Amino acid sequence: MQKNMLESLRRIVHEVNAADDLQAVLNITVMRVQETMGTEVCSIYLRENELNRYVFSATEGLNKNFVGKISMAPDEGLVGQVALREEPINLEHAEAHPKFLFMPGIGEERFSSFLGVPIIHQREVLGVLIIQQVERRRFDEDEEAFLVTVSAQLAGVIAHAQATGSIVKLESGEKKAAMARFRGLSGAPGIAIGTTVVVSPPADLTAVPFRRCKDIDAELKFFHECLAAVREDIKTLGEQLSTRLAPEEQALFDVYLRMLDDNALALEVDEFIRQGEWAQGALSRVVLKHVRTFEMMEDIYLKERATDVKDLGRRVLAYLQAANGGPVDYPDRTILVGEELTASVLGEIPSEKLAGLVSVKGSSSSHVAILARSMGIPTVMGAVDLPFTQLEGSEIIVDGYNGHVFFNPTQDLYSQYQAIYEEEQQLAKGLEKLKDLPCVTTDEHRLPLWVNTGLQADIARSLDRGAEGVGLYRTEVPFLLRERFPSEEEQRKIYRAHLEAFSPMAVTMRTLDVGGDKSLPYFPIEEDNPFLGWRGIRVTLDHPEIFLVQVRAMMKANAGLGNLRIMLPMISSVPELEEALELIYRAHDELAEELQVDLELPEIGVMVEVPAAVYQAREFARRVSFLSVGSNDLTQYLLAVDRNNARVADIYQAFHPAVLHALKKVADDCIAENKQVSICGELAGDPAAAILLVAMGYNVLSMNAANLPKVKSVIRNISLARAKELLQGAMTMESASHVREYLESVLLEQDKTTILRPYISKVSD
């Protein structure tokens, strides 16, 4: 078995991935495992969360009449033991085990040997996979390893099918559908409760939403018209190529035409339409099924046919979509859901109707997330398990704080989120009056709140919230929105608009920070390990022509205003900093000579984003005017947790003691050097964190405009002395959760009106 193990595994996974629903996934699994391992029995027990029992869900070799009808509690039987211990149990003589539970009728009395392995997805036991045999023997190591591997590989598919299943069940009117939660990443903060509209790119068979059709006969007619149109296209194509193709190649077009015949694939599509599905959905379902079948074939020629079927399917889909391409009737509180939402979809929907966004792919630095933050639209990115095509027209909750999406929430959860949503609306109104008040503690300590910007649209929003300066202008944003590097003059104009709008307040412009997950379409950087590769200052030092043009544009834009500050991203050593400073001085001198003016040199600062910079903070501080902590990257590098990976989002902890100690050290070092210290990562916009940061001695907090009023309200309600006490307590704690709980309990106690609740309470997992 060893030799074919990988191949067998690959085939099982492929086949299971192509299955229509959860039951098919389970049936295929038991059938293929039993066949591949040559055992007499293979069964699956799946956990039913609401009942807290493991239900006999599929079998090959035992009595199938009992499927779905019997179940075990976690403390019952060997199944319960495997689930409870979260490890395989391999027995030569199962009946002799004290936990063995006899289930009459199912037919397992003949089978002595038993091997059960847990099916675990994201730390949760979904069920148990079992093989059994009459012959009394212990399954060998290879067999155990194989079963564990199959189980680990299938866990994700089962979880996905379960989630999809609960959605389908609900749509078909079954009451028993369970709540489904999907994890992603926070794209933009906030809560949205609304109705989904699925956004599908044209002619993409995998992104067609599930919809019911209103008039079955009309839908059938429409489908056959589109089919006929594609047949005509193929005929024309064949004729056009006839002189250039050999007869056997020409024959291919006849094959295509036969596939498009009313009596081939179309028959299956018709069947689904008759059951009430719209033509686009029925077509994509049938075509994808055939594509998968062809892809699984051994024969290379047949395998290749998958491409043909897909191509024909796309052509028909394009016709179906073109005819349905009228304006979408967006419901109130629309939540746009798609595989990969792009910034352009935001332009298609009336802004008063847009409540939230969910994208299966992408991260917080995708364009759409940047725009969403600027527009204040709660957004979840990277919700990789979301069966988005099944969600059309569903009520969902988007938790943009935690990056969660809830489908069919329990009444309890719904009420909790509704309450948070309402309080947020109220809070926003309540906080408006803070706009012109200073950010000052009750014992008169001043803490200026600045904003992070990137788009032109951020300007109005920031001023509206009472920003006192810009602590981070991400200059890569205008670069990202273009098709080539902007020229010096183009840049000057963009920077000038920013500087003028905020003048006389300071605007801190960060030099181009690309690489990592931010790649410019016209300057692609492809690396195996991009976050540890060519990014930030490393790119611009290797390309002084880009750096110099940018710095010149900034300084030209600053002429007559004088509110520019320049900030350098990703600095990890003194030589790197000195090299960058040299270039800035050179640009400044050249420009002064060129323009024949006495050009003021702007203040220059360094971002503290990598652990090395924490330990060199003093050396850096001596050389520049200010340091600003980029806590997003600093957290990622200190904890070795990719900030864009939903799978490890739980351990990306901003309140991790290591992060807090690093933040404190940077503040202490800047204070010792008598230099300004600020922070411009997301942490600055967290009200609980703001208390610690003011106590550490941070002079400026720079954040997303949306968070500014909340932070201001917290700071205005606490004294510096009290904040210092809390900091002292927090610095002794050994885990992030302790720190957060500690701060939140203090905040809640302080705030009797619950006005603080929306942004400190996280709805628990």
Structural contact between residues 653 and 736, judged by C-beta atoms closer than 8 angstroms: yes
Q: Which residues in 560-619 contact ligand PEP (CB under 6 A)?
A: 609
Q: How far is the CB of 44 from ligand PEP (least distance, A)?
A: 44
Question: Residue 718: which of 676, 740, 699, 690 has the closest Cα?
Answer: 690
Buried/exposed code over 391-417 (b: 16+ C-beta within 10 A; e: otherwise):
bbebbbbbbbbbbbbbbbbeeebbebb
CA distance linking residue 267 with residue 281, whole number of Å: 14
Residue 59's alpha-carbon distances to 672, 735, 750, in angstroms, are: 70, 45, 57
Structural contact between residues 567 and 628, judged by C-beta atoms closer than 8 angstroms: yes
Judged by CB under 6 A, which of 12, 58, 680, 723 binds ligand PEP?
680
Q: How far is the CB of 550 from ligand PEP (least distance, A)?
A: 16
Judged by CB under 6 A, which of 29, 632, 644, 704 binds ligand PEP?
632
- Among the candidate windows 283-291, 551-559, 625-633, 750-758, which touches ligand PEP by CB under 6 A? 625-633
Residues 6 or more apart whose CB falls under 8 angstroms from that of 431 comprise 709, 710, 712, 713
451 to 480: interface string for ligand PEP, x by CB under 6 A: ---------------------x-x------
Cβ closest to ligand PEP, residue 630 vs residue 758: 630
Please report, for the chain, how many H helices and E strands are present, in that order: 27, 22
Q: How far is the CB of 360 from ligand PEP (least distance, A)?
A: 22
What's the distance, Cα to Cα, between the start and end of the chain in Å?
Answer: 42
- Among the candidate windows 134-142, 169-177, 386-394, 624-632, which touches ligand PEP by CB under 6 A? 624-632
Question: Residue 209: which of 293, 279, 311 has the closest Cα?
Answer: 279
- Among the candidate windows 55-63, 134-142, 479-487, 627-635, which touches ligand PEP by CB under 6 A? 627-635
- Among the candidate windows 196-204, 297-305, 368-376, 629-637, which touches Mg ion by CB under 5 A? 629-637
* Residue 226 among the catalytic residues: no
Buried/exposed code over 358-379 (b: 16+ C-beta within 10 A; e: otherwise):
bbbebbbbbbbbbbbbbbbbbb
Question: Residue 566: which of 546, 552, 545, 586 has the closest Cα?
Answer: 552
Q: Which residues in 4-23 contact ligand PEP (CB under 6 A)?
A: none
CA distance linking residue 520 with residue 248, whole number of Å: 45
232: exposed, middle or buried (Cβ count in 10 Å: 0-12, 13-18, 19+): exposed
Judged by CB under 6 A, which of 60, 633, 669, 686 binds ligand PEP?
633
Name the binder of 681 from ligand PEP, Mg ion, none, CB < 5-8 A by kind: ligand PEP
Q: Which two tokens stand for residue 505?
A: 């307040």
Name the binder of 392 from ligand PEP, Mg ion, none, CB < 5-8 A by kind: none
482 to 521: interface string for ligand PEP, x by CB under 6 A: -------------------------------x--------
Q: Which of 213, 226, 670, 680 is catalytic?
A: 680
* Residue 738 among the catalytic residues: no
> Does 633 engage in binding with Mg ion (CB under 5 A)?
yes
> Does 630 engage in binding with Mg ion (CB under 5 A)?
yes
Which parts of 338-487 fold into alpha helices (H)? 345-348, 367-375, 411-432, 457-464, 476-480
Structural contact between residues 382 and 357, judged by C-beta atoms closer than 8 angstroms: no
Judged by CB under 6 A, which of 630, 685, 709, 758 binds ligand PEP?
630
Judged by CB under 6 A, which of 631, 644, 678, 699 binds ligand PEP?
631
- Among the candidate windows 59-67, 419-427, 633-641, 653-661, which touches Mg ion by CB under 5 A? 633-641
Binders of ligand PEP: how many residues, by CB under 6 A? 10
Q: How far is the CB of 652 from Mg ion (least distance, A)?
A: 14
Q: How far is the CB of 232 from Mg ion (least distance, A)?
A: 54
Question: Residue 185: which of 360, 420, 392, 343 has the closest Cα?
Answer: 360
144: exposed, middle or buried (Cβ count in 10 Å: 0-12, 13-18, 19+): middle
Q: Which of 97, 367, 445, 738 is catalytic?
A: 367
Q: What SS3 state is found at 465? A: coil
- The single-letter DSSP state of residue 3 is T
Cβ closest to ligand PEP, residue 133 vs residue 462: 462
- Among the candidate windows 112-120, 627-635, 665-673, 715-723, which touches Mg ion by CB under 5 A? 627-635
| Ramachandran class of 613: left when φ > 0, alpha when ψ lies in -120 to 50, beta otherwise | alpha
587 to 616: interface string for Mg ion, x by CB under 5 A: ----------------------x-------
Judged by CB under 6 A, which of 338, 681, 687, 758 binds ligand PEP?
681
Name the binder of 385 from ligand PEP, Mg ion, none, CB < 5-8 A by kind: none
Q: How far is the CB of 188 from Mg ion (least distance, A)?
A: 17
Name the binder of 472 from Mg ion, ligand PEP, none, CB < 5-8 A by kind: ligand PEP
Binders of Mg ion: how many residues, by CB under 5 A? 3
Bridge partners, residue 398, by sequence = 192, 405
Contact residues for ligand PEP (CB under 6 A)?
472, 474, 513, 609, 630-633, 680-681
Active site residues: 367, 680
Residues that bind Mg ion (CB under 5 A): 609, 630, 633
